[in-house]
């Protein structure tokens, strides 16, 4: 699977997208079953690739009726950073808080969570630790001094030796925020799927 960045010609116009939408949506749902990881009670991380990003842009264009090349190009420019380069993983971090009370309670408490996600690779007693890096353009829009956002975009940069260790496992996705500390081991199907990003 290629992880080359999207260009204007990759985004189908409205009528063409309607013809492929059902099949493409099922494909992306299948991808996300392997790429979506729940960490603790209300954090989930979706590892993005070219298809998930294209789906996001197509759906945005469909809902918001974006029909001009300029409008589509704006969406491409926003979301292309989420398509990983080789040796990288890009992800969307969601705080799945559904009530107004939970939002008021947790968004101030979890300030900085977008810098508190790690991959722990290899020997659980002495793992390689790869910290996430917030995606710069989105962080500038989302970061506040008082509350965090419900959605963040993060990247992991792995060295060649870390990529090889990732392939052999085990791999754990951890959130190490002082107010939210949980971890989830990645299953074999997820590791294999993410290797298509790391070795693209």
Is residue 96's pLDDT more than 80?
A: yes
pLDDT at 3 over 80: no
Determine the average pLDDT of the residues in 7-21: 96
The pLDDT-based confidence of 138 (bands split at 50, 70, 90) is: low
Average pLDDT on 95-103 reads 92
- Estimate the share of the chain in helix, then strand, then coil, as percent rounded to the nearest 5: 45, 25, 30
Mean pLDDT of 114-118: 96
Q: Quickly list DSSP for 43-68.
A: EEEEEE-HHHHHHHHHHHHHHHT--S
Say whether pTM exceeds 0.85. Answer: yes
**Are the C-beta atoms of residues 167 and 122 closer than 8 Å to each other?**
no
User: Pick the residue with more confidence: 142 or 168?
Assistant: 168
């Amino acid at each position: 699977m290629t992880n080359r960045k999207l260009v204007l010609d990759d985004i189908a116009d409205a009528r063409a997208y309607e013809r492929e939408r059902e099949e493409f949506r099922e494909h992306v749902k299948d991808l996300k079953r392997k790429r979506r990881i729940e960490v603790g009670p209300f954090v989930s991380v979706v590892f993005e690739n070219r298809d998930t990003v294209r789906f996001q842009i197509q759906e945005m264009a469909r809902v918001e009726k974006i029909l001009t090349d300029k409008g589509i190009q704006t969406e491409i420019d926003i979301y292309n950073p989420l398509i990983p380069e080789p040796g990288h993983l890009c992800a969307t971090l969601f705080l799945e808080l559904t009530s107004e009370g939970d939002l008021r309670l947790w968004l101030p408490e979890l300030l900085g969570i977008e810098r508190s996600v790690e991959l722990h690779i290899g020997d659980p007693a002495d793992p390689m630790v790869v910290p996430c890096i917030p995606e710069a353009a989105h962080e500038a829009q989302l970061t506040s001094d008082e509350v965090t956002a419900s959605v963040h975009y993060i990247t992991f940069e792995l060295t060649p030796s870390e990529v090889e260790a990732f392939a052999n496992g085990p791999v754990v996705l951890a959130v190490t925020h002082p107010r939210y500390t949980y971890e989830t081991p990645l299953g074999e199907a997820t590791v294999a799927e993410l290797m298509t990003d790391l070795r693209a």
